Chain A
Amino acid sequence: MKKIFFSIKWFLAFVKRLMRKKSFLLTLLLIPILTCIMTMASKEESGIMSIAISSRDSESASYKSILSEILSDDKSSLLFVHYDNPYDAKESVRNGKAECAWIFEDDFENRCKKYASGDKSSTLCEVVVKEDTSFTKLAREKLYSLLYKEISFDIFSQFMDERDIQNENLSNETYKDVFDNVKNEMNGNLINVNFFGNEEKSTLETNYLTSPLKGLLAVAMLICCYSAMMFSLEDEREGKYACFPLARRLSIHFLFVFSAGVILSASVFASLLVSHNTDDVVYDILMLILYTFMCVFFCILVGILCRTSSRMCVLLPLLIVCVVCLCPIFLSTNGFVAVKILLPTYHYMQTLLDISNIVGALIYTAILLFADIVLYKAINRA
């Protein structure tokens, strides 16, 4: 009981000490503000690839229908920008405003018929790219799908014409009626897209600008705990912990780093809440608590190994590089598993991906705690 009161007393004292620092308060406020700005900005019109669209015959009915279909598709992660003039569309690629331009040819309807008849010299659209990457190729599949829609009836009707069927009731109009009837009856969705472990969540709810937010806030938490450990080591060096016996200093380090972690996790949670980046509030809170412990134990371990704040400071950029590059924040990196599993952020991100990873995270936390105690005792004895 006495120990618990001691811990609570010192925890509150450390929280008070941190909250009195203006710059710390400024940082705490800045995190939710920046998160909100990013979330608001992500709602503006943007895309991971900007595609300029134009036609050499802007009056073409097929082009108009394709254009309205493209521009009304708000689910796409591609950003389509319409240009009246094909030259302007090409220029937008040249000056870097768009990654590629799709310029529909003139006499589009006749070209579709010709193409469907097997005359492949009559292309339907010019694609202008600066460099042809996997991304521009993937985006082109969308164009193929739009063009294919335009020619699929022509392929069918020309096939029927080629069969030389002797039936006076059969005409192009009949073909069109039958084709449209079948189309109306057919289920047009052949593939459902689901999130792993969360079938109910729609893919529309994610945005590439806000998806790294959770990861970045997690890195901020790790940095906060890391610098708190540096601060605590500096305090110890200056003799501020002289009133505590050596064996008790580990708990003092823990209380100080934990107080910083708790304050920042509150700020991180507030950021996630106000920016509507929480899927399940209870789960997110639990994972943040677990992550706070992971960060605290990890930073204490690094502190015990480094022993001075200057050594810790020098290692900080390397830690950030590892965390940002190896944890699934901006991209999923293959390999480096041995390094990945040492990082608390990696375990936290894994728990957000799949609930079953909690076991791994708990084991990781327990190992860190054990390592902290054993190493601290061993170093003190030495």
Chain B
Amino acid sequence: MTVLNYLKCCFKRTRKILVFSLVFTLVVSTLLAVVVKERIKNTGEINEESALPFVSQIKVGLVGDVDNKYIKFGLTALKSVDISKDYLEISTYDSEDEASRDLLNGEIAGYMIIHENFISSVLHGENTPATFVIKNSLVDLTTMLVNDVVSTVSNLVVESQVGIFAMEDIYNEYKLSGRSDASKAINAKYISFIISRDDMTELTTLGSRSEVSTVGYYACSFIILLLIFVGVMCAHICVKPTMALSRLLSSRSCSSFWQIVSEFISFFAIMLFSFILLFSLTNVFLPSISSFVPELLNMTRYELFLMFLKLLPVVLLVSSMQFFIYTLCDEVISATLLQFVVSFGLAFVSGCIYPISFFPEGIKEFSSHLPLGIAFEHCKNLMCSYCDYSLIVYAILLSCLFVSLCVFIRKQKIGGWNE
């Protein structure tokens, strides 16, 4: 009877948090859906094969002598005929202050300062370098990739310059006539090769059927991160600063095991309800959501329900891991801090924030055995309509291990470990 009463008591405590967790799930899911929808509206409809429109253009700025005829010509070419127009958007600025303001506000990934003598130095082969400015130290991925590509742009121009100056040297040395015409012709030739540089390669797109798409990948991250956030919300009810009640319960035939089971069930219920809400929202708005998550295209509501059932071990695993962290702590400061450090640390190395392919092999291997690594892998598999039952078994076993550890810790604490 005491066990049932304690279970009731635990559920009573979770009532208030439950409402807030549902509101939080609703607000965050709606906000995310609105942001994604807006982005897609701006960049075009997504298709079944690719999530390309989701990845917007990279914006860079140009400061300096933008009225120069050569720069004007280059800009027109970049904006209209060059292949970079698909992924690069160039904005011109009158002053560096304006460009730096936009850089700091995150409007642009970087800006190029073209000094007064830049064009004449290029025309004479002296090449006084222009400056490309990116944000200080805190680099995001786009900036890093732009930084990598900047040097390749330099290579294209310099290689063409070499050909043009070599031609001029030969005309001068051998006193050949028609140097001016030849110069114009070779310039035009190099420009045409640069503009059509994508002709050098043949593109084969495999499609994303066997692997999860970019949007699908981040949908999986969202599920895991949402569960973590809801778990963090429960710090106040999960942390036990004193063991007085636990000791009393223990003396009234409610052992550490039943205490932990009752507390875990009530905690799991919060996570489960948030998860049910998330899936109900997905179910209701399935036609709209499937327009930007390619994996959900052609998925029936029944298939979605089956996916939901198969995702339950993920909820169980994340809940048990977070509950274990709470059991370790005896006050709210370290509980929330440890929850953040451990959960976010694990989410980071498991690929929930940056794709797992970004990490070194050692971390990839290590994260595949971590609780959130397993949970994330299972989510990704289900997104691709594939279910690895060994992962489900692994997740359930790990959850049991976490709960057992919680029981062990509670027993130790009741026995005076915390005193």
A34 to B348, CA, bound (A): 12
Interface centre among A115, A264, A353 (most CB of B within 10 A): A353
Minimum CB–CB distance from B162 to chain A (whole Å) comes to 5
Enumerate B104-132 residues with CB–CB distance to A below 8 Å: 104-107, 112, 122, 125-127, 129-132
Instruction: Check if A313 sits within 8 Å of B235, measured CB to CB.
Output: yes
CB-CB contacts of B257-268 with A at 8 A, as 1s and 0s?
000000000000
A144 vs B197: C-alpha distance when bound (angstroms): 6
**Could you tell me if A178 and B169 are in contact, using CB atoms closer than 8 angstroms?**
yes
Q: Tell me whether B45 is interfacial, beta carbon within 8 Å.
A: no
| A7 CB contacts on chain B under 8 angstroms | none
- In the complex the two chains form, is A47's CB within 8 Å of B358's CB? yes
Number of interface residues of A (CB under 8 A): 139
Q: Main SS of the interface on chain A?
A: helix
Say which one of A135-143, A241-249, A286-294 lies at the interface with B: A135-143
Q: Knowing A129-B205, A130-B211, A227-B335 touch, does A44 contact B361 (C-beta < 8 A)?
A: yes
- Chain B interface, number of residues (Cβ within 8 angstroms): 130
Q: Closest Cβ of chain B: how far from A101's Cβ, in Å?
A: 9
B13 to chain A: closest CB distance in Å?
10
Contact with A along B235-248 (1 / 0, CB 8 A): 11000000000000
- Select the residue from B141, B190, B196, B349 with max chain A CB neighbours within 10 A: B141
Cβ-defined partner of B158 (8 Å) among A167, A190, A203? A190
Residue interface mask A146-160, B partner, CB < 8 A = 1: 011101110110011
Q: How far is the CB of B90 from chain A (nearest CB, A)?
A: 14
Docked-complex contact A131 and B334, CB < 8 angstroms: no
Closest to A354 in B: B104
By a CB distance below 8 angstroms, the chain B residues around A127 are 201-204
B170's contact among A125, A178, A197, A215, by CB below 8 Å, is which?
A178
B331 touches A231 (CB 8 A): yes
Give the contacting residue for A30; candidates B131, B190, B338; CB below 8 A: B338
Cα of A169 to Cα of B175 in the assembled complex, Å: 12
Instruction: Kindly supply a per-residue 1/0 record for chain B positions 154-165, scoring 1 wherever the CB is within 8 Å of any chain A CB and 0 otherwise.
Output: 111111111101
A361 sits at the interface (CB 8 A): no
Interface code B184-216, partner A: CB below 8 Å = 1, 0 otherwise?
011001100110111111111111101101100
Q: Do B333 and A260 touch across chains, with their CB atoms under 8 A apart?
A: yes
Candidates A24, A124, A163; contact of B334 at CB < 8 Å: A24
Does A253 belong to the interface (CB within 8 Å)?
A: no
Bound Cα distance A96, B20 (Å)? 38
Binary interface encoding of chain A residues 188-223 relative to chain B, with 1 for a CB under 8 A from any of its CBs, else 0 = 111111111110010101101101101110011001
The contact sample of 15 A-B pairs, CB cut-off 8 A, is A44-B363, A45-B360, A123-B202, A134-B56, A134-B86, A137-B87, A159-B189, A163-B178, A178-B170, A190-B129, A190-B157, A313-B234, A317-B24, A333-B106, A354-B104
Q: A94-B211, A196-B104 are in contact. List 20 more A-B contacts (CB 8 A).
A: A47-B358, A48-B358, A96-B210, A120-B196, A123-B201, A125-B202, A127-B203, A142-B149, A147-B200, A159-B167, A186-B165, A188-B154, A190-B129, A196-B136, A205-B137, A208-B139, A212-B348, A214-B137, A318-B24, A329-B138
